[in-house]
Amino acid sequence: MRCPTGKNGYYSESEVQEALIRSHIRFVQAAKTYYKCHDCGEYHLTKQGELHPLLSTPEVKARIKREQQEQAWLGKLR
């Protein structure tokens, strides 16, 4: 079912967490956290609210930094 909010929906929490991390790797339009939608029952990313604690964990921070560096390199090669 298409959500009335028009946002992208994610079926599982692990999927939406992955999307949240990816939005930070790509810098632009980074979402802060996610929520379970009352309209469609799926998870959505949002730029409102508190930064999700997942993004403050050392593993995730290290991953974001590493993948940003990789992207910067790829950008230079293009």
Between CA 61 and CA 69 the distance in angstroms is: 12
| CB of residue 19 to Zn ion, shortest distance in Å | 14
CB neighbours of residue 27 within 10 Å? 10
| CB of residue 36 to Zn ion, shortest distance in Å | 9
Please state the φ and ψ torsions of residue 38, each to the nearest 5 degrees.
-80, -20
Residue with Cβ nearer Zn ion (42 or 67): 42
| CB of residue 46 to Zn ion, shortest distance in Å | 11
Which residues contact Zn ion (rule: CB under 5 A)?
Answer: 3, 37, 39-40
Residue with Cβ nearer Zn ion (1 or 77): 1
CB neighbours of residue 29 within 10 Å? 8
Between CA 19 and CA 10 the distance in angstroms is: 9
Residue with Cβ nearer Zn ion (30 or 40): 40
